[in-house]
Amino acid sequence: MASKKQRIGVLTSGGDAPGLNAVIRAVVKSASSLGWEVIGIHDGFEGLLGTKSYRVLTNADVQGLLPRGGTILRTTNKGHFGPRRSDELSEADPYVRAVKSIEEMGLRALITIGGEGTQRIALELHKLGAPVIGVPKTIDNDLAGTDRTFGFDTALQVATDAIDRLHTTAASHNRVMVLEVMGRHTGWIALHAGLSGGADVILIPEIPFSIERVAEKVHARDVQGSAFSIIVVAEGARPRGGQEMYIAEGRLGGIGHWVGEQLERLTGKDVRVVVLGHLQRGGSPSPYDRLLSTRYGAAAVQAAARGIYGEMVALRGQDIVTVPLAEACGYLNRVRPHSDLVLCARSLGIVFGDEL
Ligand code: F6P
């Protein structure tokens, strides 16, 4: 008798990032070369609830997907999957229902593509017996356990391009330009883009700043004959002794405009503020992100073939390895204030707003 065809599932969860489709493509192509069937689950973990929403993905379905932004499976933020309230195995518990769906669908593995929130949900499902394998995604690059998440490089490219463009208009008008970039808890995009684009000031969540110190830097540049300045600020940055700023419940934003208003007041200069927002998340992935996503997708299928569950594929040096999901969810990968990158920026005269 012919043996039953092996099946794996794949879903995308949390905020989208360039490279999601490239991972899906790699999963489908690698699984198909093993003779396995791939089920694409819609709307993140939500697709496992209720009547279930999914479809079979074939090689034909992923044709042309490598450069395409977004996710063909769509995504949701957490949805019904908040923190588990008790260890009781109640039928009302979305985690219990999701594990039941995975069993009913006959999945030998479920590949969960997402950031820290996603991998936390995956870990809970694994504790209940689900065969999950994580793939690390987020433009913020703040997921622990891996050297790099896919999506970050593309966001960095968009942010650097924005700084380049702001430079020419800032210099033409002798203005201060403030660019607010994403980075909920960490300043990776601001730091890398600020260095790559030649910013004068970089403000990140890991280093609370003094706005007076930032104003001094702007003034010092004026005195030196550079009458314009570029300030890059991560959305999660905050003034010393102050709090992160929100535009709505759970939605960070507003720090760029606050910095702009304060600098206008303190320096008397003409200031303009640009909030880059979701331009950093949309569109085609960079070659680096396409490659990383492809490697992650293929490695996740390899992990399923070897029966490695409860782990996340990760980049370590030049290699793709797997690390326990518990490690990936244990802490956030933050910029170290005394790291080589920060010291490099300081040695170039870039101000972080904490200088004495
Ligand atoms: O975590 C990625 C991220 O892009 C953050 O930088 C940002 O704060 C957040 O997602 C915004 O997400 P959304 O607009 O989808 O709620």
Q: Express each pLDDT in 295-348 by its tens digit.
A: 999 999 999 999 999 999 999 999 999 999 999 999 999 999 999 999 999 999
Instruction: Tell me the per-residue pLDDT of 85-128, one tens digit each, with 9 for 90 and over.
Output: 777 778 889 999 999 999 999 999 999 999 999 999 999 999 99
DSSP 8-state assignment for residue 149: -
pTM higher than the cut 0.85: yes
Centre of ligand 1 from the C-alpha of residue 183, in Å: 8
Mean pLDDT of 142-147: 98
Centre of ligand 1 from the C-alpha of residue 199, in Å: 23
What pLDDT, on a 0 to 100 scale, did the predictor assign at position 3? 62
What pLDDT, on a 0 to 100 scale, did the predictor assign at position 90? 86
Centre of ligand 1 from the C-alpha of residue 298, in Å: 26
CB 156 within 8 A of CB 199: no
| pLDDT over 90 at 259, yes or no | yes
Q: Is 222 a catalytic residue?
A: no
Atom 15, ligand 1: residue with shortest CA distance: 15
Q: Please work out whether the CB of residue 183 comes within 6 Å of at least one atom of ligand 1.
A: yes
| Average per-residue pLDDT for the chain | 96
Centre of ligand 1 from the C-alpha of residue 49, in Å: 24
Q: Please work out whether the CB of residue 184 comes within 6 Å of at least one atom of ligand 1.
A: yes
Q: Please work out whether the CB of residue 182 comes within 6 Å of at least one atom of ligand 1.
A: yes
Q: Residues 321, 313, 25, 56: is their CA dihedral positive or negative?
A: positive
Instruction: Tell me the per-residue pLDDT of 45-56, one tens digit each, with 9 for 90 and over.
Output: 999 999 999 999
Query: CB count, 10 Å around CB of 195?
Result: 19
| pLDDT over 80 at 1, yes or no | no
Atom of ligand 1 nearest to the CA of 14: 15
CB 120 within 8 A of CB 114: no
Q: Please work out whether the CB of residue 139 comes within 6 Å of at least one atom of ligand 1.
A: yes
Instruction: Tell me the per-residue pLDDT of 180-223, one tens digit each, with 9 for 90 and over.
Output: 999 999 999 999 999 999 999 999 999 999 999 999 999 999 99
What pLDDT, on a 0 to 100 scale, did the predictor assign at position 91? 85
Instruction: Tell me the per-residue pLDDT of 121-133, one tens digit each, with 9 for 90 and over.
Output: 999 999 999 999 9
| pLDDT over 60 at 272, yes or no | yes
Extract the tokens encoding 189.
């995009």
For tokens 């927002």, what's the residue? 277
Centre of ligand 1 from the C-alpha of residue 149, in Å: 15
Instruction: Tell me the per-residue pLDDT of 21-40, one tens digit each, with 9 for 90 and over.
Output: 999 999 999 999 999 999 99
Q: Please work out whether the CB of residue 155 comes within 6 Å of at least one atom of ligand 1.
A: no
Query: Choosing from 43, 93, 140, 200, which is the catalytic residue?
Result: 140
Q: Name all domains of the chain by residue range, CATH numbers in brackets.
A: 7-150+285-317 (3.40.50.450), 154-281+336-347 (3.40.50.460)
**Order of strands, edge to edge, in the sheet holding 271-275?**
201-203, 229-234, 176-181, 271-275
- Spatial separation of the C-alpha atoms in residues 184 and 161, rounded to whole Å: 21
Helix (H, G, I), strand (E, B) or coil at 52: coil
Extract the tokens encoding 163.
């700084």
